[in-house]
Amino acid sequence: MKIQGRLCVLTLERPHGYSYDAGQYCDIRIGEVSRSFSFLSIPSDGELKFGIEIVKDSLFSQALMSISGGEDILITQAQGRYQIDENYEKLTLLSGGIGVVPHLSFLDDLAIKGKLVMVRVLASYRGQEFFADKLKSFEGKGANVSITNTSTQSRFDFSDLSFAENEGVYICGSSEFVSNTIGDLSDRCTNLHFETFSG
Ligand SMILES: Cc1cc2nc3c(=O)[nH]c(=O)nc-3n(C[C@H](O)[C@H](O)[C@H](O)COP(=O)(O)OP(=O)(O)OC[C@H]3O[C@@H](n4cnc5c(N)ncnc54)[C@H](O)[C@@H]3O)c2cc1C
pLDDT by residue (tens digit) across 23-67? 999 999 999 999 999 999 999 999 999 999 999 999 999 999 999
Mutation pick for ligand 1 pocket among 25, 35, 83, 128 (CB with most ligand atoms within 8 Å): 35
Angle at 98 (CA atoms; ends 129, 68), nearest 5 degrees: 100
Q: Is 109 helix (H, G, I), strand (E, B) or coil?
A: helix
146 and 95 in a single domain? The answer is yes
Cβ 36 under 6 angstroms from ligand 1: yes
Mean pLDDT of the chain: 95
- Is 83 inside any structural domain? no
Q: Does 182 reside within a domain?
A: yes
CATH for 14:
2.40.30.10
Q: Is 101 in the pocket of ligand 1 (CB under 6 A)?
A: yes
Using one digit for the tens of pLDDT, what is the confidence trace for 119-140?
Answer: 999 999 999 999 999 999 999 8
Question: How crowded is residue 199: how many other Cβ atoms within 10 Å of its Cβ?
Answer: 6
CA dihedral 173, 175, 180, 185 (to 10 degrees): 60
The per-residue pLDDT for 28 is: 98
Q: Using most ligand atoms within 8 A of CB, pick from 49, 61, 100, 197 the residue to mutate for ligand 1.
A: 197
**135 and 66 housed in the same domain:** no
Confidence (pTM):
0.94
For residue 35 and ligand 1, the question of a CB distance below 6 A is answered with yes
For residue 36, give its domain range: 2-75
Collapsed DSSP state (helix, strand, coil) of residue 14: coil
Shortest-distance atom of ligand 1 to CA 53: 11
User: What is the tally of structural domains in the chain?
Assistant: 2
